[in-house]
Chains A and B, each alone.
Chain A
């Protein structure tokens, strides 16, 4: 039995950004103080998360019960921090600071309206994200999962125009609809089947229960589609729809927080609800593998045909999310660890790419790939960072994306699923095919005649600095993956 420590730290980490909301509202007329409170909360949050790292690395878990449950009747609301939750929390809380800086540059650069509302809901959604990362049972997880869907809706529909309304509708109908239609029954069925156990601590909930192959497949798919933030096809279209949001939202929420919450939940379901043992016995995981594999290939193909830069990035994200789902569904230890690491690796790479897309938009007003010819010469920092981000997401050295991908591929080999291994390889090629032409256009093509590049210069510093930081981080993760490796190893008791 693992030893656990009771500490209020996870609650504090969660509350830090929630407490920023009243501050942001109070300072709604003083933009400087308002943004300062966002930063204050960001650093406080990151500090609380970092403070927990040593405890987690020593092999313990941190627990805090918010509201006690009553055995057989109610489920507690409980926080529990383990290696996986820690990995995710580190990624989300560190990137929030960077994104806040970027958001200030972006929102002010474009003179966006209702910035107070924007920063308030941004802080709220970060609380929900950490809540998911630190939840100690399936019900708490679901609570924060829904809170995240709801708190990001005003961000997605920020522009309040017709397009935003459509995007917002798709967003909520997919996220809320699937979680109610598939998620709730799956959770309650698990509750009944496991005899009232929804806790992630100890053995997997359903590890000892009798289950037929069909029951296993249906329940697994109900969970995987119920947590549709993971973007598995056919419930993926909310993500391209959400691209109507301002770019900081797309960057942090739709490349990192929201979507990673989706795959995080799927990982929790596979390791915490079913347990790898039960799934292996049933063989139900292969169905999910193939759904994910289909999503990987299809989304890569669709991405190739998108001219809108943010949409191309969105379809790329859908593919990368399914990498993670595929990795964990393979059940091989290397693949599981690789997919956990990929949460972080992909986060840094993809947020860089979105930052670049936003910086280009702020500086030039362009959002189509076909307009980017020759942009590398006027915006060298931005496009340079874009190249690094593209390397990382494709999985090429010297970036962190390579490491996690190697782990997943090795896991596929261990599981002797050579067809799925091929999926990884083919899709890597496809990633290259849809990213590198952009880099090529920017640096090696001369601007089309008739378009004026004069007068275009780098985006504001508040935009360029964050994307440089995340690009550098992607490279550093290649050379120093130690912490990430240690944290994810904790989740594999068998290895």
Chain B
């Protein structure tokens, strides 16, 4: 389907059965994509089909209220004048919503008003409300962005579990890579209204199609000019690559291919870049260490052993064979 916007035309073709994360820079058209599917915005042309039923295209335009969708709005859009129970029951067609309230752990809040709830509670009420409609398609617009970082992790796990249990196709707009891969099987990347990459989360990390994808996924991208197996980096210094190349290139190295050491190892197959530790971020069972703008992912044990603290002098290293080189004129 297509929709002309102020700066560009949204043009997307997608087919999904499981959970699909939609990522992209702000203003890329992610929320608009959801609104098009919901029927809140009418595409200029194209087709929308769900569960074998045509929602849009060929003279058909099913109104929003007749598409069976569960839409989670960015700030949840709970009805302020209704209780938790009233909110969840709104789209339930008279079905008993008590089991849903129980499932989402908000049964004890059933008569509370939205303004009395915490961010995490609001999110669960909004999700319960969307599911009470028994949707055929779930559209979640940045479901975790309104939460504080402390609750985000646990709510993300809950949400992933719910999405797997419901077995309803879902599109989740998100702006964090960890969120995208923890919630979804596949990730679609939208830039300026176009889907530039669609694949599993790991693929995005290993072979990002654009600099945005690389940055989003946390892939290290060093730009420079290649002459044979040497690349003179724009930031200064040079690195070795496995296959000869020429001209402007980007060297992509996944964070887990990079090791951190206190001294350079005596190995000519390795590229070394010395620098100071900028940040140390625990990430599940891994630790992300940022050294001189390069992100390495190491085990908590190594981080402990190296006593990595911001400011420490270390060396990051990777094998020339583990880096991928893309021509920047194409990327």
Q: Do A and B come from one complex?
A: no
Binding site for B on A (CB under 8 A): none
